[in-house]
Amino acid sequence: MVSSNASDELVQLRAELAIVREQALVAEAEVAKVWAINADLLARNTHLELMNEQMRRDKYGARSERSRRLLDQLELTFEELEANASEAELLGQIAAAKTTTVQAFTRTRSTRRDFPADLSREQVVIPAPELCPCCGSDDLSHLPAAVTETLERVPARHKVIQTVREKVSCRQCEKISQPPAPFHVTPRGMFGPHFLANLAFQKYGLHQPLNSQRDRLEAEGIPLSLSTLGDQIGAICVAVKPLFLLLEAHGLAADRLHADDTTVPLLAKLKTSVARIWDYVRDDRPFGGTAPPVALCYYSSDRRGEHPRAHLAGYTGILQVDRYAGFNALFEEGRTDKPMTRANCWVHARREFFKLVDIRQQLKRRKKGAAPIVSPLASEALEIIDRLFAIERDINGKPAAERLTVRQELSAPIVAELETWMQETRSKLSRHDAVAKAIAYLQNDWDGFTTFLADGRICLSNNAAERELRSVARGRKAWLFVGSDRGGQRAAMMFSLFGTARLNDVDPLAWFTDVLARIADIPQSRLHELLPWNWKAAQQQLTPEIAA
């Protein structure tokens, strides 16, 4: 039996633990509140700067093209900060709800404007109860209904949906009854799921900044402020964050990942600095795997190796990468119970030789009048490497065991031939020779390049990761830069969602619209139903002809 003293100590410890937990929640809520206040102040200050610049232009006129670019930069910065403030406000409210002493910070917003009267309206009537929920009486009198207007987007036109919730009063007990308001994707329920999905998809899927979308909406007769649109983007990202976490868990459970990164300009004070978008792709289809593919993107303000180490903390599978030194620590002994297996990209190695025979690129980059040089030695290396890629094309999609058998039989002799050729050729060349440098790229990590001969799951190239970063490269020409670190983090999460939808042959806009329509009302235990591959399977069951 447990003594009374021990029992009392256990009760006391539990009480002290409860107090510590409450204090931790209060501290977390206070930090979130301060974070929300600071984000709101930053958005307000930027809004004032934007208004000041607009008034200067209105009073003095546009003095130069540079001033127009400055105004565009201020608008993009304000867009990001407004989304930051909205996201921080909602996260602060979530943290405050876990306590009883911290009051959440609520942003002061401008008075909501009515939608234009000439927009078509569609009423969705939620009927009032026929019996009083309080006493069961049917002696009810109708009162004026509560009408909520939500802007929704339909193809080629806009409409305002009026949700009318009828209200009744009981003559017996004088209680007023009304159906509950429907769930909304974002607070205040001003916009419908299709409108919001299109807003996010245009920004992150088609790379249209919010100021461009605002101008288009105004041209269509829908005057909405940049502040309102940025506010909705922040709220959308908070709503879909749980879905991203499910994607992340699925992606990092892979036996093999592709990894890559690309630059993204970050607007900083008086300059534009270079930030990074990292992506990790799970795609088991080349070796016959049945797991759905996933693209995970992360943002960082620089390219230090600590970022991929944080992204892949605990991961011990195969990582397909280029020769970037920041990945090196991931493959060292002692990192985890088992270090990752490195698989280098042969496309990068081939590219070093191809540059020496690509006449068109040499003509572009060489000084005027300089003759292009075609290296016979580089052509020999390309011929050998291309034979490896020809074998890979034939076994793409085959089971890992079959791929491994073919590689050991056909690819291993070619790799041995290339290794011998490199050793003999490099011994005859100066270390400054271009071909010698291309050979050194392979030889300096030959084990990483030959890993594919021992594992049929490994691909010869890292193209799966590079393909997912093409959207970022296209977007750089449209939105020029991200306005803040938080904006980069939001962009990375949305790139992950839309990229995963495309990898699973799912229409990103149709899927994201349904996600926003259902995510506020779906239980946490069923959230996996909204993952792109599960959503696609459900749609095919509902509409058999889609599968056909």
> Which pLDDT band holds residue 546 (cuts at 50, 70, 90)?
very low
What's the CA gap between 511 and 499, in Å, rounded? 12
Report yes or no: 489 and 86 within 8 Å, Cβ to Cβ: no
pLDDT recorded at residue 477: 65
CA-based end-to-end distance of the chain: 69
Q: Letter for the amino acid at 39?
A: A
- Higher pLDDT residue, 325 or 129? 129
User: Percentage of the chain with pLDDT > 70?
Assistant: 89
Mean pLDDT of 64-84: 70
Phi, psi of 294 (to 5 degrees): -140, 140
Helices of type H across 253-375: 306-311, 346-354, 359-365
pLDDT interval class at 65 (50, 70, 90): very low
d(CA 282, CA 258): 7
For the chain, the average pLDDT equals: 86
pLDDT at 214 over 80: yes
Please tell me the least confidently modeled range out of 38-47, 313-322, 446-455, 515-524: 38-47
The whole-number pLDDT of residue 267 equals 76
305 versus 257: the higher-pLDDT residue is 257
pLDDT at 392: 94
At 498 the pLDDT is 96
d(CA 177, CA 185): 25
Q: What's this model's pTM, rounded to 2 decimal places? A: 0.79
- Cα 417 to chain centroid distance, Å, stands at 43
Residues 6+ apart with CB under 8 A from 187: 90, 235
Backbone φ and ψ of 522, nearest 5°: -90, 140
Pairing of strands 271-282, 294-300: antiparallel
Question: Residue 51: pLDDT band by 50, 70, 90 thresholds?
Answer: confident
| pLDDT number for residue 548 | 43
Banded pLDDT at 493 (limits 50, 70, 90): very high
371-400: average pLDDT: 89
* Percent of residues, the chain, with pLDDT higher than 90: 40
Q: Is the pLDDT of residue 453 over 50?
A: yes
Higher pLDDT, 364 or 8: 8
Confidence of residue 13 (pLDDT cuts 50, 70, 90): confident
336 confidence band (pLDDT: 50, 70, 90): low
